[in-house]
Structure 1
């Protein structure tokens, strides 16, 4: 499976910066910033002051929560997290796994993250789960990363 896959891939634009081709030309943080379904993660990356780090990272995989995933968190709690860089940086960096991972390398995988903890990926048929979060669209390439959209914000222990 070398192309993007998943039930939500149809929602990506076919043209422009937020298309698969557009994202492939940009480094990670810049590539996701053009997608209207990822504005909450874009804000989290910005507030964590990790834009440059993600744009210059070499060969990483981002499991990016879509906006709906952030909406599962009560607004007051989410506001507190976004306002506290010491809490936000570990959460953002927990979504970034070392190395580029294709779908074939994600069957029953344990991946080290930039945060220092590990993510567990399980596959059942065409469904991939990352620590219980469902992959909605995956194997999206950027200039320096592979991206998987997920339905839940992951929080390190």
Structure 2
């Protein structure tokens, strides 16, 4: 793909607004074509136990959220895709940010055809939109999530926030459970999730696949 694409991502970078949270907005991003990533180039296993994530980091609040995410081998695929979609600078520019970070094994659970489509050089905008749904431009604790009913991705696309998961302690976001929550960083926090969020028409009516 030789031409550049310009995409305006939906949503507003806003603080917690009662029953709705908005994803990070990416304004007029020029999407430079990048090489297609192979599925085999991505890590699909979690090298460490979920409960041990970030335990070796002395003080997580010394690092910004992206630097902190890079310190967990379980999040290597998520970080790699953020870099592939050129979203790192957008994450760094906001004052407060929350990442819903899927583990490597969460990506392994995705249908392979969908993952291959996202990794294509022709689908940089699609990859960016998918990843954008994992980034909230405010610092949102797991407790605060219980007071919200959905996350707005675009004007017509929402991700529902559900009831506590099977553990009885965590809420679910778009069908994904927070398996490790509230890892605090200098400019926000990370919630580790067990499923990749895939905005689609299903989310408009509050359904998940």
The TM-score range, normalised by the shorter chain, is: 0.7 to 0.9
2:126 is equivalent to residue 87 of structure 1: yes
Who is 1:148 aligned against?
A: 191
Who is 1:136 aligned against?
A: 179
SS at match of 1:137: strand
Who is 1:101 aligned against?
A: 140
- C-alpha deviation, 1:134, in angstroms: 0.7
Who is 1:14 aligned against?
A: 55
- C-alpha deviation, 1:110, in angstroms: 3.2
SS at match of 2:116: helix
Q: Distance in 2 between matches of 1:151 and 1:135?
A: 7
CA contact (8 A) 1:12 1:20 kept: no
Q: Greater relative contact order (Cα 8 A, min sep 6): structure 1 or 2?
A: 1
Aligned length: 145
CA contact (8 A) 1:136 1:149 kept: yes
- C-alpha deviation, 1:123, in angstroms: 3.5
Who is 1:122 aligned against?
A: 162
CA contact (8 A) 2:94 2:137 kept: no
What is the aligned-residue RMSD (CA, Å)? 2.1
Give the unaligned 5+ runs of structure 2: 1-48, 201-209
Q: Distance in 1 between matches of 2:198 and 2:65?
A: 20
Runs of 4 or more consecutive aligned structure 1 residues displaced over 6 Å after TM superposition: none
| TM-score, L = length of structure 2 | 0.62
Q: Distance in 2 between matches of 1:67 and 1:46?
A: 15
CA contact (8 A) 1:106 1:123 kept: no
SS at match of 2:136: strand
Greater helix fraction, Structure 1 or Structure 2:
1
Q: Distance in 1 between matches of 2:160 and 2:144?
A: 12
SS at match of 2:199: coil
